[in-house]
Amino acid sequence: MIASLRRIRAIAGTTLIELARLRVFYVLVLFALVLIVSSTFLARISFQQELQVTKDISLGAINFFLSLLAIVATAQLLPRDIEDRVVYSVLAKPVPRFEYILGKFLGVLGLLALSLATMSVLCLVVLHLREQSALQEANRQVTQLAPDQLSSTLRSIHMAGINRDLIAAVVLVLAKSAILAAATLCISAFATSNIFTITAMAMVYLIGHLESIAREYWLEHAAGWVTRTFLAVVAFIFPDLQAFNISDQVIGGIPIPAHLIVQLLGLTTFYVLSYILLATAIFYQREL
Amino acid sequence: MMQTAIRISHVTKVYRTPFRRRATVALRDLNLEIAPGEVYGLLGPNGSGKSTTLKIILGLISATRGSVTIFGRDNSVVAARREIGFLPENAYFHKFLTGAETLRFHAKLSGLPRSETRARVDELLATVGLTDARNARLSTYSKGMLQRIGLAQALIHNPKLLVLDEPTAGVDPAGSRDIQDLIASLRNRGTTVLLSSHLLTQVQEVCDRVGILHRGRLLREGPLQGLLSIENQTELVLENASPDLLDGLEQQIASTSARLIARRKAQASLEQLFLHVTESTEE
């Protein structure tokens, strides 16, 4: 049977409504508070540092809240549908299980994209306002600065403010959250409780962030074939989530090469597809 | 040759619990055929295998052994479910959707053309008496209303086969009567209905044939009349019979080898009494 986009869209749309009506968007209010409160109380050392710290806090908060949303929102989708027997009336229709899993994933992805868009706009507005106030102040001091000194100050303010790499960093946050959501769906396809799924995902999150450090250390100190095989298996199963964190380079003004972004998006596609396929295979075996 | 609506051949279902040696046999070598347009009642106590049978038919779980076909198609093929409407027991559906949204969602899943959806949703909401509650969320619905919206979603794509798991559970007698009337009208339109129920009188009223399951085995099966009739007994129900006529009949019976077992006033069922009292109060 050929997949029906209409059915997948219906399941994704309903999942998005479900998550929206469950008020998971409250996390965005928390984000706004973190951003506004922290940027208000920032100690002003220099314009560039102020903008850099605002960017650092914003990207850190976006990363944290979106990862949290991806895991918590996805973990409850399948168990809730099974507990409420909604899954019976859905799968008794001509709906293949892969359409159901894909629809659920796309619904969560929609929620993540909407949340990310809201947080990014808020972050960009705060940064823009800070940047403008920094530029105005620099212009006021124009009489005290030499012309080459002034143009260098303005350039550093622009570099520390909104730029192309900031958008790339935000896109990679979404990519990382998509991987986390797909992995959560995969675990919840066989898990019997939300707590198990969330705990397992906390471990996946931890391994994903620490594996690059562990790999570096082990390859330096004990590079036998057993260690290498083990590291290869871990690297294959768990994505290197730390690789998606390019905020340090963005804040430091180090240009991000385009091929790195393409590589990371390719990796995202691979892991998302693999986890979705695995989730579908597990769900096909599940007795409802 | 007429194609059967449902054919269950030698189906056995064994549930195995991981890390435990013991397995539970839910169904043992079940064979069943349901003809198109028939209303079939599956009876049995809790744990007899009724829900397992329905879930296997719908492809929600797989049989350990045996096969099931729906209108000639293997039930594991997703397309076989195009012909089926299903009302699960104690269904809750998406509580965050309204009645109309629920029906539109199920219309999309069933592949009902967009152009027909709106009219069909309105028609079904009217049929199950929920037009006024169409924009209320299901979280505010009563148990009976949920059961009715469940019935509407099962019928959204006009299925040839309707599978109902305890359709009147939690519904008041008037609502229950409405559901029975709906089943009767579906039969008249040629829809095949398979229902499981604990309520024997309701099954007796709407079903053409019944099967009695116990501990995973089909103990009895056949047309209701045949199963219920007592071969060597006859019932006469008379209206306006005088006491003299009844005494005369009794004397005549006594002069033969037949034996009169009981002479009593014909009685309405409690359900008939309830409906009569509540309906006359509403008038």
State what percent of residues in chain B have pLDDT above 90: 46
Cβ density class A246-282: b for 16+ within 10 Å, e for less = bbebbbeeeebeeeebeebeebbeebbebbbebbbeb
Query: In the predicted model, what is the mean pLDDT of chain A?
Result: 83
The contact set of B with A (CB < 8 A) is: 15, 55, 58-62, 77-79, 81-82, 84, 86-97, 105-106, 108-111, 150, 153-154, 157, 163
Return the pLDDT at B176.
84
Return the pLDDT at A160.
60
Nearest Cα to Cα of residue A14 among A65, A122, A89, A124:
A89
Our CA-based measurement puts residue A5 at a distance from the nearest CA of chain B, in whole angstroms, of: 10
Contact A88 B86 (CB under 8 A): yes
Residue of A1, A4, A92 lying closest to B60 (CB–CB):
A92
Q: Which chain B residues are closer than 8 Å to A85 by Cβ?
A: 88-92
Return the pLDDT at A218.
73
Instruction: Determine how β-strand B209-214 pairs with β-strand B217-223.
Output: antiparallel
Contact A6 B58 (CB under 8 A): no
Contact B108 A288 (CB under 8 A): no
Tell me the mean pLDDT in the region A54-67. Answer: 85
Residue bearing the bigger pLDDT, A40 or B242: B242
Q: How far apart are the first and last CA of chain A?
A: 22
Taking only the tens place, the pLDDT of each residue in A225-271 is: 777 787 778 878 888 898 888 877 777 777 888 899 999 999 999 99
Contact A287 B61 (CB under 8 A): yes
A43, two tokens: 């100690």
pLDDT tier, B29 (very low <50, low <70, confident <90, very high otherwise): very high
CA distance A209 to A229: 19
Return the pLDDT at A102.
96
Where is average pLDDT lowest: A260-264, B13-17, B30-34?
A: B13-17
**Edge-to-edge order in the sheet of strand B73-74:** B23-34, B6-16, B65-70, B73-74
DSSP secondary structure letter of residue A142: G
Phi, psi of B281 (to 5 degrees): -70, -40
Instruction: Determine how β-strand B209-214 pairs with β-strand B39-43.
Output: parallel
Partners of residue B221 on adjacent β-strands:
B211
Distance from the Cα of residue B121 to its chain's centroid: 23
Return the pLDDT at B193.
95
Domain with CATH 3.40.50.300 in chain B: 6-228
Taking only the tens place, the pLDDT of each residue in B104-156 is: 999 999 999 999 999 999 999 999 889 999 999 999 998 888 988 999 999 99
pLDDT tier, B1 (very low <50, low <70, confident <90, very high otherwise): low
Cβ density class B163-179: b for 16+ within 10 Å, e for less = bbbbbbeebeeebbbbb
CA distance B193 to B187: 7
Residue of B86, B92, B108 lying closest to A86 (CB–CB):
B92
Return the pLDDT at A142.
63
- ipTM greater than cut 0.95: no
Q: Which chain A residues are closer than 8 Å to B15 by Cβ?
A: 287
- pLDDT beyond 80 at A52: no
Contact A91 B96 (CB under 8 A): no
Nearest Cα to Cα of residue B202 among B142, B269, B145, B265:
B269
Return the pLDDT at A145.
63
Tell me the mean pLDDT in the region A84-111. Answer: 93
What percent helix, strand, coil does chain A show, rounded to 5?
85, 0, 15
Taking only the tens place, the pLDDT of each residue in B168-217 is: 877 888 888 888 888 888 999 999 999 998 777 778 888 889 898 988 99
B63, B11 contact by CB (below 8 A):
yes
Q: Is A23 on the interface with B (CB under 8 A)?
A: no
Our CA-based measurement puts residue B86 at a distance from the nearest CA of chain A, in whole angstroms, of: 6
Q: Which chain A residues are closer than 8 Å to B163 by Cβ?
A: 92
Return the pLDDT at A226.
79
Q: Which of A17, A93, A104, A286 to mutate to test the interface with B (most CBs of B within 10 A)?
A: A93
A188, A75 contact by CB (below 8 A):
yes
- pLDDT beyond 80 at B21: no
pLDDT tier, A161 (very low <50, low <70, confident <90, very high otherwise): low
Q: Which amino acid is at A91?
A: L
Cβ neighbours of residue A283 under 8 Å, at least 6 residues apart?
A78, A97, A100, A101, A189
Residue bearing the bigger pLDDT, A220 or B242: B242
Contact B78 A95 (CB under 8 A): yes
- pLDDT beyond 90 at A98: yes
Residue of B89, B92, B108 lying closest to A7 (CB–CB):
B108
Longest dimension (CA), chain A: 77
Contact B60 A91 (CB under 8 A): yes
Taking only the tens place, the pLDDT of each residue in A179-214 is: 999 999 999 999 888 889 999 999 999 999 888 887
Taking only the tens place, the pLDDT of each residue in B65-96 is: 999 999 999 998 888 888 999 998 877 788 88
pTM over 0.90: no
Contact A94 B79 (CB under 8 A): yes
Taking only the tens place, the pLDDT of each residue in B222-252 is: 887 777 777 778 888 888 889 899 999 999 9
Three-state SS letters, chain B: CCCCCEEEEEEEEEEECCCCCCEEEEEEEEEEEECCCCEEEEECCCCCCHHHHHHHHHCCCCCCEEEEEECCEECCCHHHHHHEEEECCCCCCCCCCEHHHHHHHHHHHHCCCHHHHHHHHHHHHHHCCCHHHCCCEHHHCCHHHHHHHHHHHHHCCCCCEEEEECCCCCCCHHHHHHHHHHHHHHHHCCCEEEEEECCHHHHHHHCCEEEEEECCEEEEEEEHHHHHCCCCCCCCCCCCCCHHHHHHHHHHHHCCCCCCCCCCCCCCCHHHHHHHHHHHHHC
- Treating both helix axes as pointing N-terminal to C-terminal, what angle do A164-188 and A47-75 enclose, rounded to 10 degrees? 20
Residue bearing the bigger pLDDT, A157 or A26: A26
pLDDT tier, A158 (very low <50, low <70, confident <90, very high otherwise): low
CATH of domain B6-228: 3.40.50.300
Contact A6 B108 (CB under 8 A): yes
Taking only the tens place, the pLDDT of each residue in A123-145 is: 888 878 877 777 777 777 666 66
Contact A1 B79 (CB under 8 A): yes
Nearest Cα to Cα of residue B167 among B185, B152, B188:
B152
Instruction: Determine how β-strand B84-87 pairs with β-strand B6-16.
Output: unpaired
Q: Which amino acid is at B208?
A: D
pLDDT tier, B270 (very low <50, low <70, confident <90, very high otherwise): low
- pLDDT beyond 80 at B276: no
Please state, as a whole number, how many other Cβ atoms lie within 10 Å of the Cβ of residue A189: 22
If phi over 0 gives left and psi between -120 and 50 gives alpha, with beta otherwise, what is residue B29? left
Residue of A17, A92, A95 lying closest to B96 (CB–CB):
A17
A25, two tokens: 């968007």
Tell me the mean pLDDT in the region A263-281. Answer: 95
Return the pLDDT at B93.
87
CA distance A14 to B51: 27
Q: Is B270 exposed, middle or buried (0-12, 13-18, 19+ CB in 10 A)?
A: exposed
Cβ neighbours of residue A271 under 8 Å, at least 6 residues apart?
A179, A182, A183, A239
Nearest Cα to Cα of residue A93 among B6, B102, B89, B159:
B159
Contact A88 B62 (CB under 8 A): no
